[in-house]
Amino acid sequence: METWTIILQGLIVLSCLGVGARMGGVAVGLWGGVGVLLLSTFFHLSPGSLPVSAMIIIFAVVTAAGAMQVAGGIDYLVGIAHRILRSNPKYITFLAPYVSWIFTIGAGTGNVYYSLLPVIEEVSFNNGIRPERPLALSPEASQLGITSSPVSAAMAIMLGLMAPLDFGLSKILLIVLPATALSIFVAALIQNRRGKEIQQDQLSLASADSMSNKTQHVAGQSLSPYAKRATWIFLSAILIIVVFGFIPALRPQIMGKEDTIMPITMTHLIAIVMMLAGVMIFMLCKIKPDTVPQTSVFRAGMVSVLALMGIAWMANTFVGAHKEFFSAFMEGQVQSHIWFLPIAYYILAALTTSQSSATLVITPVAIAIGIPPAYIIASWMAVIGIHFFPASGSQIATIQFDRSKTTTIGKWVLNHSFLIPNLIVAVTCVCIGFLIAKIGF
């Protein structure tokens, strides 16, 4: 009877995640609250804890990033990316995904990809390269940048979960950065050979003739005189965070338990550094604080905070009440078949279309049953499964921007242009991550 009760509670959690994800925006977090209500009212579960540290990090990062955007920093970054892509058009299938990955890592948000999308399409189409090749891989690379960024919302969540295991930012980056970088290269090699050349595809050429060029030459627009300054302040803050992560001795020393001196935790340090970066941008770039909440970066970040609050509350309520059950159920499965863990991340990410949901539900269970932290991080990169179904904003936008109509959703929905690169990067980065975990940890 207890098993059926847990299954019923799990269905409630998945249903709330699914409805919230379908409605989008802050509804994801609100439905998490509904889930807590149902679990506590009908099953008498004690409400779980809230991920306060992760929420503070996200708030600090998006505030600094929003200030950078007001100063023109996002446009400055996009202009650099445009020049890189146009300078080597023959290698667009390789360059576009890496530029998307790098700039997402730097900005801490996938929103930067939307600004790169028009120029990726333009460069590939005008140089006779099938646009589907770089366009289908670039949003996948951008999502890998989310799990590789020191200042992304997903990293903030994972840092909070892994902190008690003494597995901090430096160790996480040692796994995810090389794994994601190499997986993009493998996928680009395969993508570069996919489909007919655009000159051979008459249907694509006919479609292209009926559509005007949508590209906005951001690089040619006039930038704010403080754009470069704001960008370098923000990127310097990220660099400082990475250095502190790799060299704990450089961090401020604080009083720990039993009057011992210890370095301040990275979760607190990230928030402090990004808040300081925001203040410096305000002061040195003459930004009015009340303009920051109007930026797309800040609004998207606040939606993430609200979504995280509800999802984490519901997930912690459910998982926390049944740790022993999940430990007994998954211990034999995962320890005997370690590949079960990344598959679980991938499936839940696909079903909820949320990296945060998959992270918050699967990671605590993996920690509870004693999976080594390095293998958890290697498996965590499988949250790229959010693109298994062609339903995300970046996928839909990519399809709409492709004048050649080579980037498509197929007749059977799942045979869409993004599926093959998605599976390639998922399998490759997890395999490389496991290899690094085995050798280095």
DSSP 207-230: HHHTS------GGGSPPPTTHHHH
> Residue 151: how many CB atoms within 10 A of its CB?
27
H/E run at residue 261: strand 261-263
Q: Alpha-carbon distance 222 to 225, whole Å? A: 9
Beta bridge partners of 263: 253
Which residue, 307, 374, 388, is CA-closest to 343?
A: 388
Beta bridge partners of 262: 254
Count of structural domains, the chain: 1
Tokens of 417: 């242009």
Q: Alpha-carbon distance 57 to 274, whole Å? A: 8
pLDDT by residue for the chain (441 residues), tens only, comes to 577 888 899 889 888 877 886 776 788 789 989 999 999 999 999 998 887 877 888 788 889 989 998 999 888 888 888 888 888 888 999 999 999 999 888 877 776 777 788 788 888 888 888 889 999 999 999 999 989 988 887 888 898 889 888 898 899 999 999 999 999 999 999 999 888 777 655 444 544 454 444 444 444 456 778 899 999 998 898 889 888 888 888 888 888 776 678 888 877 888 899 899 999 999 999 889 999 999 888 887 788 788 778 877 887 888 778 777 766 666 666 666 778 889 989 988 887 777 877 888 888 888 887 889 999 999 999 999 988 887 676 787 788 778 888 888 777 777 888 999 999 999 999 999 999 999 988
Q: Quick check: helix, strand or coil at residue 254? A: strand
pTM: 0.76
Q: Quick check: helix, strand or coil at residue 253? A: strand
User: In sequence order, which residues have a C-beta less than 8 Å from that of residue 309 and are 6 or more positions away?
Assistant: 29, 32, 50, 51, 55
Alpha carbon separation from 151 to 66, 89, 133, 173, 276 (Å, rounded): 13, 30, 29, 12, 14
Whose tokens are 């929003």? That residue is 66
Quote the distance between the C-alpha of residue 132 and its chain's center: 22
Quote the distance between the C-alpha of residue 264 and its chain's center: 26
Domain of 298? Answer: 2-440
Q: Alpha-carbon distance 385 to 344, whole Å? A: 10
